[in-house]
Amino acid sequence: MSLLVVGLSHRSAPVSVLERAALNADAQVKLLQDTVAADPATEAAVLATCNRIELYADVDKFHAGVAELSTLLAQHSGVGLEELTPYLYVHYEDRAVHHLFSVACGLDSMVVGEGQILGQIKDALARAQDLHTAGRLLNDLFQQALRVGKRAHSETGIDRAGQSLVTFGLEQLAASTDVPGWARGRTALVIGAGSMSSLAAATLARAGVGEIVVANRTFERAERLAEILADAEGATARAVRMDAVAAELTRADVVVSCTGATGLVLTADAVAEAVAGRTGEPAADAEATTGPGVAELPPTSAGTEENCPLDLASVQGTPGFSVHGEAAVAGMDAATLEQHAAWVGEGTSLLEQGREHDAGGRFTPEADAGLITALAEAAATAGRVPEYRRPEPVAGIPRPAPAVFLLDLAMPRDIDAAVHRLAGVRLVDIESLAEASADAPMASDVDQVRRIVSDEVAAFGAAQRAAHITPTVVALRTMAADVVAAEIARLDGRLPGLDDRLRGEIRQTVHRVVDKLLHAPTVRVKQLAAEPGGTGYADALRTLFDLDPETVAAVSRAVDNTDEKDRPA
């Protein structure tokens, strides 16, 4: 059996696709059950967050496993397989382990280094354990991922590179102001009472907001969160029912929403009415404003070089865009994609900026050839090079200071994207957070975390390979013990007058001889099996000693059952 992961994330798919593919709790349960019922898979776990959906499975066939897992993801997400496929990525065996360990350390998060993902991985494992879809492999994998993530945060300064999505979102709302100074004395409305909403409420309380109002479909959960905020954080907090959100919206300065709703919680009209109620003026569509003061944006020069492998004709003249290889390529990680990205700023592409100049200030052909070759290799590997455009910046259009600040952390979105266009409103959502995080500087500790991940992947692989041969070694020693017992019984029949002292001495001598003969080979075969490519030693051992496959399988089941009993709840 082999580890396989098929998924999509903010690095491979636009937010619009992630929103439509989002899985609620019931859909995740059904997906797990259907996965283990499928032929190629014996174990399954789903890691579903606001910016990733990943299905992990232990499969016996790679191609059949990829086809089955992709089909199941499409069926349960409601997005057609043909539409979903370009955004899927596949990781197999060690690359799958490396991917999950990187995710656990926050290296693949929208905000690099954030620690919330550890809780989400823990929840994914607990769900799979409750449904009995996680066997020995996935239990070992996810528990080790949690340990690797904790090690990365304790041994490095990765926390300095990132923060929670909530903190990052609030920083984007506060713009150039520090969050405590911006939040102090304001009234906050938190919609939802789950883990993300609870974290947002606690963060706002610590920042010094004047009052926190919690709204939730289950009123009792809203009351409980309000009580926790009052007791633990000393905040002024109260709970309201969802039908009171419209009224509370007119009083709130800050709104944070993160629910599991499949539709919009706040429409653009509802937000516009709330702004009008606060300011006494209608919240006009700010982006509809035009005037002679709007400056022309310079055209981009990216893609104009001769022999450039990227077809950028469709984006010529746009103020900014990025191009990157298709994310459905197995093993192509985010760093590789980012390496080949071309961001445009002020009319000059990174392709031009990165080229070396000769003594006369001219671009050197060698530098051109190297850069173009790198881009061509990325395009050839991916199969095609799709484009994703950044929103065009609005230049010279005056906007009033925000009267309401909204943070949408839900996937799919809770707040209508049209709210971005309303004057007097600042909305930060998953899509704008993704754009902001792309420009965030990487901390030096990231390299150290990557080394930790690589070391842990190697150690995990060695442990799994060694564990794979253990049942065979146990079966071999069991067979040897049976042979010794049979020979001792035969000796007793031939020499019935042998006294007990001599019989005991003979038995011990024979056991010592067998143990010494088996010791060096079994120790060495475990060492060899732990090395890369060592999985064949178990088969060789079974063949050489003609071990019964059912005996080996029985030992393996016994080991798994023992691990299950010893596993913490």
Nearest C-alpha neighbor of 68 from the set 102, 34, 26, 97: 34
- The length of the chain is 569
* pLDDT average, residue stretch 52-56: 96
Residue 405's DSSP bridge partners are 254, 426
Burial class (CB in 10 A: 0-12, 13-18, 19+), 369: exposed
pLDDT (mean) for 245-269 = 92
What's the chain's average pLDDT?
Answer: 78
pLDDT of amino acid 65: 92
Q: Is 413 helix (H, G, I), strand (E, B) or coil?
A: coil
Which pLDDT score, from 0 to 100, does residue 338 have? 39
Crossing angle for the helix pair 136-155 and 116-130, to the nearest 10 degrees: 160
Q: What is the pLDDT of residue 560?
A: 56
Lowest-pLDDT range, 9-23, 49-63, 292-306, 475-489? 292-306
On the question of pLDDT at 457 being above 50, the answer is yes
Residue 470 in this model has a pLDDT that exceeds 60: yes
Q: What is the mean pLDDT of residues 191-219?
A: 91
Domains of the chain (ranges; CATH) run: 2-162 (3.30.460.30), 165-285+400-438 (3.40.50.720), 454-565 (no CATH)
pTM score = 0.59
Residue 400: how many CB atoms within 10 A of its CB?
Answer: 14
Contact (Cβ atoms closer than 8 angstroms) between residue 542 and residue 474? no
Which of 43-47, 191-195, 394-398, 545-549 is predicted with the least confidence, judged by mean pLDDT?
394-398
Is-catalytic flag, 50?
A: yes
Binding residues for substrate: 49-52, 109, 114-116, 120
Spatial CA neighbour of 105 closest among 330, 336, 334, 411: 334
Residue 189, strand partner residues: 213, 255
Q: Give 456's Cβ-side CA count (13 Å radius).
A: 28
Is the predicted pLDDT of residue 442 greater than 60, yes or no?
no
Cα–Cα distance for residue pair 545/466, rounded to 1 Å: 19
Share of the chain above pLDDT 90, in %: 38
pLDDT above 90 for 447: no
Say yes or no to pLDDT of 244 above 90.
Answer: yes
More confident residue, 290 or 216: 216
Q: Where are the alpha helices (DSSP H) in 187-332?
A: 195-207, 219-232, 245-249, 268-279
255, β-bridge pairs: 189, 406
Q: Residue 561: what pLDDT?
A: 55
- Between 355 and 53, residue with greater pLDDT: 53
